[in-house]
């Protein structure tokens, strides 16, 4: 029974990779998806591609609103039920290298408090045009998920991290048990290095590791 349970967002709570969907919408999909996959597979550091991808896409406020709705439409099977069940035993967090404004509506849909959503803020000018991102966010660089996990884990609480990417394995540095979720994307590094790996399309399959079901 874990006291704190953290979830990745993209390809874990929702079937999409948000940055790739923004890239598709802007006509930059192939170039951006290649950078995303290299970062998620651990071949290049996240900070090398984070700003580069956003600069290529130049997402507007209206694009973020569109993405927020898409996250909800593409929610992973069993996600809402899983988080509802876990909320009775644990403090739930979302830790993502995605864009916070786009993830917040999904978090509300899933019953996760806004203050427990850790992601990267994006900035816009008065006309809603892209004006940069929170470059000081630990989640915009490699090692950031370990930093956030250390922050949310208090007084020796037991911690679990559920996710699909190499960056989710960083939670081990904070003493987390990592449950790899392969229902959307099964990445080799996660299959091999996660403490447990779930190859099931429903997130509810993680419950046997998170609460013994």
Catalytic residue ranges:
8, 10
* CA–CA gap between residue 169 and residue 41 (Å, rounded): 11
**Three-class secondary structure of residue 82 per DSSP:** helix
Pairing state of beta strands 122-124 and 130-133? antiparallel
Tokens representing residue 93 in the block = 């967090």
> CB–CB of 34/44 below 8 Å?
no
Q: Where do we find the tokens 């004006």?
A: 131
* CA–CA gap between residue 7 and residue 60 (Å, rounded): 26
């Amino acid at each position: 029974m874990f006291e704190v349970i953290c979830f990745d967002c993209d390809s874990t709570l929702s079937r999409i990779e948000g940055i790739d969907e923004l890239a598709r919408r802007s006509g930059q999909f192939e170039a951006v998806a290649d950078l995303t996959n290299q970062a998620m597979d651990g071949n290049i550091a996240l900070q090398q591609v984070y700003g580069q991808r956003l600069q290529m896409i130049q997402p507007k406020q209206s694009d973020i609103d569109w993405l927020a709705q898409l996250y909800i439409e593409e929610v992973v099977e069993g996600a809402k039920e899983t988080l509802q069940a876990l909320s009775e035993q644990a403090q739930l967090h979302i830790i993502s290298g995605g864009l916070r404004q786009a993830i917040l509506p999904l978090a509300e849909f899933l019953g996760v408090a806004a203050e427990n959503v850790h992601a990267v803020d994006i900035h816009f000018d008065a006309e809603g045009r892209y004006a940069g991102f929170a470059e000081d966010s630990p989640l915009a660089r490699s090692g950031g998920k370990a930093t956030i996990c250390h922050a949310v884990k208090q007084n020796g609480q037991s911690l679990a991290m559920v996710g699909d990417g190499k960056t989710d394995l960083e939670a081990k540095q904070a003493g987390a048990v990592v449950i790899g979720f392969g229902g959307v994307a099964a990445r080799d590094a996660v299959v091999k290095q996660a403490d447990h790996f779930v190859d099931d399309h429903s997130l509810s399959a993680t419950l046997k590791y998170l609460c013994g079901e």
